[in-house]
């Protein structure tokens, strides 16, 4: 679909007044041809390639930003899942940590904000390399600054790997204890049905089915959508849906143009536009406030789930009309710590963990950036994760979890992370364990899909 420059300039007012930005340009990089049986040569090839591509990404992002006046907030790299890169190396935790350190040094040298892909696809089982990488996560993430990790623990085709889910609860506890306020846990997300072309952290990785290089764009416009919803208080919900669709159409067209132009300048393939609404802690840049502008008194109260379902449907329809390359997550992020409306709802008692989970059944991207008491047992963390993954598996959608067991904190406390990660009120979680369920292990079978393979 041809995208005109004039359409992009229509977004300038959105940029100036309502926080519209290109939230991220993420270059996916294949590293399989860097694999080696020795960590030294492998790390050297990885650093060389990523520094070159990261520097190039920054250069052209600056050029496009100045040309169109639309901020490109984050510049990121994603790489081949690290467990694959670990296969020919000695299966030691030290090998996995060296991979993470090589990624981190490349990101720092090329001034890339984050680099994703330190993870594994273990929805059906774990190789020895997968197990080593999982064991290395606490050390690797606590010793690096810009590395983000992911694990795909479930899929609609495979079911839920409960061995990996049970193991991950203990990994989270270990990682939380190695970082201030448990912030290290913000650098890893676990998924059901993780997409290969996700540009958002912490779950970004360059999937096995991707080309050598692929440029993926993540747009964001909660402030823009909230503004148009606020301007139409009298229209019915059908009309409101149309208004949201038209707004997202314009935003997506801008993202597509920027992505295609950057890909052409870099000489790489253009991947996808992720049309997710991703909030920040800036005033007005809130998904929760969109729901409230629609007429729900506060996010979490009755009506919230229906309103969120309507919002994400309109976003997807508007994006699909604007681009044939919509992909990634393309949902609504409802992170507690990064959205002022969500924070206030938790503090006011309008939103609890059970309602937050219910909201994720109708929108991506799952239970994101919420804090729980630091003494929450590992089996309870694993059970929360299993519940969320089940929503994704049964509904054939992507769901993820980023949970932070904040050391030394109890329900009602506030944990300050700073920057884009904001602050999180610690949510109340039942401390009653169900270890017999979690520790059974095995795999929860995939749901019937009309008996198709």
What is the pLDDT confidence band of residue 222, given thresholds at 50, 70 and 90? confident
What is the pLDDT confidence band of residue 16, given thresholds at 50, 70 and 90? very low
- Interior angle at CA 81, CA 78 and CA 84, nearest 5: 145
H or E element in which residue 269 lies: strand 269-274
Instruction: Return mean pLDDT, the chain.
Output: 89
Residue ranges of domains in the chain, CATH in brackets: 24-192 (3.20.70.20), 218-265+275-444 (3.20.70.20)
Q: Name the least confident of 67-71, 422-426, 429-433, 448-452.
A: 448-452
Quote the CA–CA distance of 192 and 173 in Å, as a whole number.
Answer: 21
pLDDT value for 6: 57
Task: Report the Cα 376 to chain-centroid distance in Å.
Answer: 24
pLDDT value for 18: 47
pLDDT value for 4: 56
CA dist 91 → 130, 135, 141, 166 (Å): 9, 11, 18, 22
Strands 213-220 and 269-274: parallel
- Interior angle at CA 426, CA 424 and CA 428, nearest 5: 145
pLDDT value for 347: 93
Average pLDDT (307-319) is 92
Residue 428 in this model has a pLDDT that exceeds 60? yes
Quote the CA–CA distance of 72 and 92 in Å, as a whole number.
Answer: 38
Q: Which sign, positive or negative, has the C-alpha torsion 237, 12, 77, 273?
A: positive
Q: Which sign, positive or negative, has the C-alpha torsion 180, 337, 382, 133?
A: negative
Q: Which tens digits make up the pLDDT trace of 326-373? A: 888 888 888 898 888 999 999 999 999 999 999 999 876 889 999 999
pLDDT value for 348: 93
Quote the CA–CA distance of 287 and 294 in Å, as a whole number.
Answer: 11
Give percent of the chain above pLDDT 70. 94
What is the pLDDT confidence band of residue 451, given thresholds at 50, 70 and 90? low
What is the pLDDT confidence band of residue 11, given thresholds at 50, 70 and 90? low
Write down the number of H helices and E strands in the chain: 15, 13
Are 72 and 21 within 8 A, CB to CB?
yes
Quote the CA–CA distance of 36 and 90 in Å, as a whole number.
Answer: 10
Give percent of the chain above pLDDT 90. 65
Q: Strands, E, within 321-387: which ranges? A: 366-373
DSSP labels, 90-135 = --SHHHHHHHHHHHHHHHHHTT-SEEEEEEEE-SS---HHHHHHHH
Q: Name the least confident of 174-178, 227-231, 269-273.
A: 227-231
Q: Residue 424: beta bridge partners?
A: 415
Q: Strands, E, within 30-184: which ranges? A: 72-79, 114-121, 147-155, 159-161
pLDDT value for 67: 86
pLDDT value for 205: 95
């Amino acid at each position: 679909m041809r995208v005109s420059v004039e359409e992009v300039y229509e977004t300038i007012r959105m940029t100036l007044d309502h926080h519209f930005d290109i939230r991220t340009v993420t270059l996916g990089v294949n590293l399989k041809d860097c694999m080696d049986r020795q960590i030294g040569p492998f790390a050297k090839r990885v650093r060389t390639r990523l520094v070159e591509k990261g520097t190039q990404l920054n250069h052209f992002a600056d050029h496009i930003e100045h040309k169109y006046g639309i901020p490109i907030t984050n510049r990121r790299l994603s790489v081949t899942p690290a467990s694959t890169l670990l296969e020919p190396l000695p299966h030691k935790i030290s090998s996995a940590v060296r991979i993470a350190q090589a990624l981190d040094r490349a990101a720092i040298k090329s001034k890339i904000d984050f680099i994703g892909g330190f993870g594994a696809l273990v929805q059906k089982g774990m190789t020895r390399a997968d197990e080593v990488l999982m064991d290395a996560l606490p050390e690797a993430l606590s010793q690096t600054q810009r590395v983000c990790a992911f694990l795909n623990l479930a899929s609609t085709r495979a079911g839920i790997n409960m061995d990996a889910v049970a193991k991950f609860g203990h990994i989270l506890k270990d990682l939380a204890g190695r970082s201030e306020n448990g912030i290290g846990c913000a650098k890893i997300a676990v998924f059901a049905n993780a997409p290969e072309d996700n540009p958002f952290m912490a779950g970004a990785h360059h999937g096995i089915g991707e080309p050598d290089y692929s440029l993926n764009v993540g747009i964001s416009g909660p402030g823009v959508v909230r503004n148009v919803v606020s301007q139409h208080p009298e229209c019915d919900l059908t009309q409101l849906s149309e208004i949201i669709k038209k707004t997202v159409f314009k935003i997506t067209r801008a993202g597509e143009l920027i992505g295609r132009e950057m890909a052409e300048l870099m000489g790489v393939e253009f991947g996808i536009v992720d049309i997710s609404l991703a909030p920040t802690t800036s005033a007005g840049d809130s998904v929760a406030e969109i729901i409230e502008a629609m007429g729900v008194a506060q996010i979490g109260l009755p009506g919230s789930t229906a309103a969120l379902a309507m919002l994400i449907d309109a976003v997807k329809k508007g994006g699909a009309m604007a681009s044939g390359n919509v992909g990634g997550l393309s949902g609504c992020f409802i992170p507690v710590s990064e959205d002022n409306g969500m924070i206030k709802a938790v503090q006011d008692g309008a939103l609890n963990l059970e309602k937050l989970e219910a909201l994720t059944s109708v929108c991506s991207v799952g239970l994101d950036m919420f804090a729980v008491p630091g003494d929450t047992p590992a089996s309870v963390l694993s059970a929360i994760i299993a519940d969320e993954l089940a929503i994704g598996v049964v509904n054939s959608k992507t769901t993820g979890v980023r949970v932070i067991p904040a050391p030394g904190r109890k329900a009602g406390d506030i944990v300050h992370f700073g920057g884009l990660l904001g602050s999180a009120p610690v949510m109340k979680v039942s401390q009653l364990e169900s270890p017999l369920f979690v520790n059974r292990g095995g795999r929860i079978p995939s749901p019937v899909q009309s008996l198709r393979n």
